[in-house]
Amino acid sequence: MKEIVEVAIGLPIPKAFHYRIPEKMKDSLQIGMRVLVPFKGRKVTGFTLDLLDHPPKGIEGKLLDVEDLLDEIPLIDAGMLRFYRWISDYYIYPLGEVIKTGLPPGLHLKSEPLLTLTGEGIRSLAQGELDPIQENVFREIQRHGKVPLKRLLTLFPEELTRAKILSWRKHGFLDLEDGIKSKEVKPKLEKVVEIAGGEPDKLLSKKRKEILEWLKEKGKVSYSELNKRFKSPSMPLQFLQAAGLITLSRREVSRDLSVRSDLKPYSKPELNRDQEVVLAEVLKGIHSKRFSPFLLHGVTASGKTEIYLRAIEEVLAQGREAIVLVPEISLTPQLLSRFKDRFGENLALLHSGLGKGERFDQWRKIRKGEVSIVIGARSAIFAPFQRLGIIIVDEEHDPSYKQEEKLKYHARDLAVVRAKQVEATLLLGSATPSLESYYNAEKGRFRLLHLPERIEGKHLPRVDVLDIKKESGLFSEKVKTALQKNIEEKKQSLLFLNRRGFASFILCPDCGFTFKCPNCSVTLTYHLGDRSLQCHYCDYRIQAPADCPRCQGHQLRGMGIGTERLEEEIRTLFPGAQVERMDRDTTTRKNSHHHILKRFESGDIDILVGTQMIVKGHDFPKVTFVGVISADTSLHFPDFRSSERTFQLLTQVAGRAGRGESPGEVIIQTYNPDHYSIQRAREHDFSGFYREEIHFRKDLEYPPFSRLINFKLSGNSEKRTKSAAEEMGKIGQTLLKKGYGKGIEVLGPSTAPFAKVRGKFRWQMLAKGKSSRWLHQFSQALAARMEDQTKGKGISLDIDVDPVSIL
Ligand code: ADP
Ligand code: ZN
């Protein structure tokens, strides 16, 4: 019998901990289950990692008991545990937190410390015997009765520390109490009615008889179905149950997910020559049952989706399973409905747009092997399949595969790792592959496959680049003419502008005042719809005033345009046309993307205005014109990938035009008509772009010629964050001197490009090096030495590993 269990805790603590297994759990406790364990006076959820015969040396006496076992069967199998361990090591992130990221939300019970005032505390407050900070804190507690410790630390970032609070507790002013937080998601149950088989021994009333007859036909039905058929059935049912004619019970049901497929039905086409060649290669990989990585570079509308579908058919025929990653699933109802048409119910969905309960149910379906395919956004890479045969990453270049908070993983990179671990096929697809992936393909790490032409010999659209320096107004005569022509010919147009809102900021021309967010170092965007000023980085929002708050001037003016303004101008210009806008503001309600796209597909909309939401892989044959209002927004982003990003966006948005019978036309407006990312997009020349960009990366030693890790510090207190950053710089230099990172260059520390976001001050330090092993070692050492600088000081260190596509 194993005595001891090793547990990873879902808290930002790097190591695993050991607990004793109480007698009553010895038969049932296994690796990969959740347990509730005592930790620093609280109770937290942990994951069991290993079972041991004896406690590790030196801590025998101190071990506590597992408090509770939360699962009957393990949530995590050995394969997933291995995957999680790899991630934890690579991203230098606590294993318990990694596991938590991979599991559906709502499985975490946690107690949190709540503070209350003792009698002594109340008395001292009343008698005014306290210092000012103590008084403020105690008042806050008194006002609410109980206050979470964490909340106090954010309320008083400069003055308060955890240590201070604990000392007040020692002095008898405060009490700490344990509150269990967050309710656990449970399987949903429904009532079912079933025929029991006996015969009625006396005459039944009409209604009872009807119900019984109906049930005999059906055998077993849900109560809700019965309730639909018969009015108020509960009394007759009670009678029938008492007479032993029926039984009432409960069964587990899945929270229904509307995987809608009310878009145009998708039939199975004959493959063309290129598709056949590509598929044959992929099938070789699938049949080998070895790790077989492919990069499929196929121009827009070259029929990549059909390759995915056929490859999956083959994997299913082998009795294996498939993960399909798509950038943002709510934006791709078309792809979803194609999968639904081909595979029916054998499909689970995983993405953040689902409710907690829905996500939990989808996850359980996968875990229990009830489905063989999952489609999802980046988190679907954690789908707990046990016989994985293929991982497909559609639009592998898309930045949304990177999670930017907490565990900063890149789902494409993880797809490579997982496919390798389980010896599966990996299929990365894109019209504009990322530089990293393409470079890997050139080096022979991925097999490169091509679909160089559009389906059925359709042409890529003609693209014109227009210099807006020579134009006046929002759009050129050429764009206006093209839109007018399309309206007359009943064809559709897309207008792309990568900024939402009405005006990017409001300026007072008299005194130069602009409205800034108090929590973030950005200007507020003006939204005409509700006449508000909003921060696009936090939830801050105010009513837009009529006059300048500084000089009382009457001339406040909106500067810089957004999609809301664009929509308005288009409506004024073409009063008869059907105009619709798709951006974050018009798609807050559930399924609203879907409704807009459906109306667009049916031809009800003439002109669709939008942000990058309209760029994603939609396939609308009637779109013949695409206008890019300004190509410069992404070009000036302070990031070494800005050219790449611009090329991708322009190629993708242009790719929406001319997918049907009529050829497409694209106009790109820009201040930088000669920039290579714009010129190469105009020529649909990916390899030309790649050659220029890779040259530049090589010269400056940027990825893929080096690897980057960004150390991001953020904290509520400006002063403390700054001094922690300075300390980080010193530690970095010391480590370099000690030889921790051979060939590593450290840049910074400096304030982050956005120096303040959501009230947190942000600093960063960049480490750059050729060897990922040395970089990793350096990072681990730095993270360990930074603990003293951050722990209990309201400062956190985030390690952000730059994506590399193969590891
Ligand atoms: P991509 O994903 O490369 O942008 P899609 O998979 O959306 O391209 O394919 C573009 C269009 O071509 C779709 O409407 C699809 O139904 C159609 N299609 C794909 N393969 C074939 C084929 N072999 N024959 C006819 N039509 C096809
Ligand atoms: Zn803000």
Q: How confident is the model at residue 730 (pLDDT cuts 50, 70, 90)?
A: very high
Which ligand 1 atom sits closest to the C-alpha of 270?
Answer: 23
Answer yes or no: is the C-beta of 303 below 6 A from any ligand 1 atom. Answer: yes
How many whole angstroms separate alpha carbon 662 and alpha carbon 576? 23
pLDDT score of 197: 75
Which ligand 1 atom sits closest to the C-alpha of 655?
Answer: 4
Q: What is the mean pLDDT of residues 156-182?
A: 79
- Read off φ and ψ for residue 591, nearest 5 degrees: 65, 5
- Inform me whether the pLDDT recorded for 19 exceeds 80: yes
Residue 521 structure tokens: 């170092």
- Inform me whether the pLDDT recorded for 14 exceeds 80: no
Mutate to test the pocket of ligand 1, among 277, 278, 305 (most ligand atoms within 8 A of CB): 305
pLDDT score of 796: 92
Lowest mean pLDDT among 43-52, 123-132, 611-620, 763-772: 611-620
Q: What is the mean pLDDT of residues 171-182?
A: 73
Q: What is the mean pLDDT of residues 182-186?
A: 59
pLDDT score of 648: 95
Lowest mean pLDDT among 31-35, 181-185, 547-551: 181-185
pLDDT score of 423: 97
Cα 59 to averaged position of ligand 1 atoms, centre (Å): 63
Measured N-to-C along each axis, helices 304-317 and 333-343 cross at an angle, to the nearest 10 degrees, of 40
Lowest mean pLDDT among 155-164, 265-274, 334-343: 155-164
Lowest mean pLDDT among 782-786, 792-796, 800-804: 792-796
How many whole angstroms separate alpha carbon 280 and alpha carbon 284? 6
Answer yes or no: is the C-beta of 341 below 6 A from any ligand 1 atom. Answer: no
pLDDT score of 262: 59
Q: What is the mean pLDDT of residues 34-45?
A: 87
- The better pLDDT of the pair 45, 306 is held by 306
Task: List, in order, residues 6 or more apart from 221 with CB less than 8 Å away.
Answer: 192, 193, 215
Residue owning the nearest CA to atom 25 of ligand 1? 269
Residue owning the nearest CA to atom 24 of ligand 1? 269
Q: How confident is the model at residue 497 (pLDDT cuts 50, 70, 90)?
A: very high
Cα 487 to averaged position of ligand 1 atoms, centre (Å): 26
Answer yes or no: is the C-beta of 621 below 6 A from any ligand 1 atom. Answer: no
- Inform me whether the pLDDT recorded for 216 exceeds 60: yes
- Inform me whether the pLDDT recorded for 617 exceeds 70: no
- Inform me whether the pLDDT recorded for 307 exceeds 70: yes
| Ligand in nearest proximity to the CA of 540 | 2
Residue owning the nearest CA to atom 20 of ligand 1? 303
pLDDT score of 48: 95
| Beta carbons of 541 and 534 less than 8 angstroms apart | yes
Answer yes or no: is the C-beta of 298 below 6 A from any ligand 1 atom. Answer: yes
Q: How confident is the model at residue 220 (pLDDT cuts 50, 70, 90)?
A: confident
Cα 460 to averaged position of ligand 2 atoms, centre (Å): 41
Mutate to test the pocket of ligand 1, among 306, 450, 652 (most ligand atoms within 8 A of CB): 306
| Ligand in nearest proximity to the CA of 522 | 2
pLDDT score of 108: 65
- Inform me whether the pLDDT recorded for 433 exceeds 90: yes
Q: What is the mean pLDDT of residues 56-83?
A: 87
Mutate to test the pocket of ligand 1, among 395, 428, 453, 455 (most ligand atoms within 8 A of CB): 455
Average pLDDT along the chain: 89
Answer yes or no: is the C-beta of 269 below 6 A from any ligand 1 atom. Answer: yes
pLDDT score of 109: 59
Cα 304 to averaged position of ligand 1 atoms, centre (Å): 7
Cα 762 to averaged position of ligand 2 atoms, centre (Å): 13
Measured N-to-C along each axis, helices 686-699 and 642-654 cross at an angle, to the nearest 10 degrees, of 170
Answer yes or no: is the C-beta of 450 below 6 A from any ligand 1 atom. Answer: no
Lowest mean pLDDT among 273-277, 318-322, 611-615, 725-729: 611-615
| Ligand in nearest proximity to the CA of 296 | 1
How many whole angstroms separate alpha carbon 55 and alpha carbon 191? 47
Cα 421 to averaged position of ligand 2 atoms, centre (Å): 41
Which ligand 1 atom sits closest to the C-alpha of 266?
Answer: 16
| Beta carbons of 91 and 411 less than 8 angstroms apart | no
Q: Tell me, what amino acid is at 216?
A: K
- Inform me whether the pLDDT recorded for 438 exceeds 80: yes
Cα 542 to averaged position of ligand 2 atoms, centre (Å): 11
Cα 504 to averaged position of ligand 2 atoms, centre (Å): 14
- The better pLDDT of the pair 353, 767 is held by 767
- Inform me whether the pLDDT recorded for 602 exceeds 80: yes
Which ligand 1 atom sits closest to the C-alpha of 275?
Answer: 23
**What own/partner pairs with CB < 8 Å and gap ≥ 24 does 691-695 have?**
693/435, 693/643, 693/644, 693/647, 694/435, 694/439
pLDDT score of 110: 60
On the CB side of 24, CA atoms within 13 Å amount to 5
Q: How confident is the model at residue 155 (pLDDT cuts 50, 70, 90)?
A: confident
| Ligand in nearest proximity to the CA of 518 | 2
pLDDT score of 295: 98
Report the candidate in 55, 49, 143 with the shortest Cα–Cα distance to residue 99.
Answer: 49
Answer yes or no: is the C-beta of 601 below 6 A from any ligand 1 atom. Answer: no
Answer yes or no: is the C-beta of 301 below 6 A from any ligand 1 atom. Answer: yes
Cα 513 to averaged position of ligand 2 atoms, centre (Å): 18
Mutate to test the pocket of ligand 1, among 619, 620, 652, 653 (most ligand atoms within 8 A of CB): 619
Cβ-based neighbour number of residue 521 at 10 Å: 16
Specify which of 100-109, 286-295, 321-330, 627-636 reaches the highest per-range mean pLDDT. Answer: 286-295
| Beta carbons of 547 and 508 less than 8 angstroms apart | no
- Inform me whether the pLDDT recorded for 199 exceeds 80: no
| Ligand in nearest proximity to the CA of 395 | 1
- Read off φ and ψ for residue 619, nearest 5 degrees: -125, 90
For the chain, percent of residues with pLDDT exceeding 90: 54
pLDDT score of 504: 85
Residue owning the nearest CA to atom 18 of ligand 1? 303
What one-character DSSP code corresponds to residue 551? Answer: T
Answer yes or no: is the C-beta of 275 below 6 A from any ligand 1 atom. Answer: yes
Specify which of 154-163, 333-342, 717-726 reaches the highest per-range mean pLDDT. Answer: 717-726
Cα 539 to averaged position of ligand 2 atoms, centre (Å): 6
Answer yes or no: is the C-beta of 88 below 6 A from any ligand 1 atom. Answer: no
Answer yes or no: is the C-beta of 304 below 6 A from any ligand 1 atom. Answer: yes
Q: What is the mean pLDDT of residues 365-387?
A: 94
Helix/strand/coil for 97: helix
- Inform me whether the pLDDT recorded for 182 exceeds 80: no
pLDDT score of 314: 97
Q: How confident is the model at residue 469 (pLDDT cuts 50, 70, 90)?
A: confident
- Dump pLDDT digits (tens) for 666-697: 999 999 999 999 999 999 999 999 999 999 99
Residue owning the nearest CA to atom 5 of ligand 1? 303
Cα 541 to averaged position of ligand 2 atoms, centre (Å): 8
Task: List, in order, residues 6 or more apart from 726 with CB less than 8 Å away.
Answer: 749
Task: List, in order, residues 6 or more apart from 405 with CB less than 8 Å away.
Answer: none
Q: What is the mean pLDDT of residues 286-305?
A: 95
| Ligand in nearest proximity to the CA of 517 | 2
Q: What is the mean pLDDT of residues 159-179?
A: 82
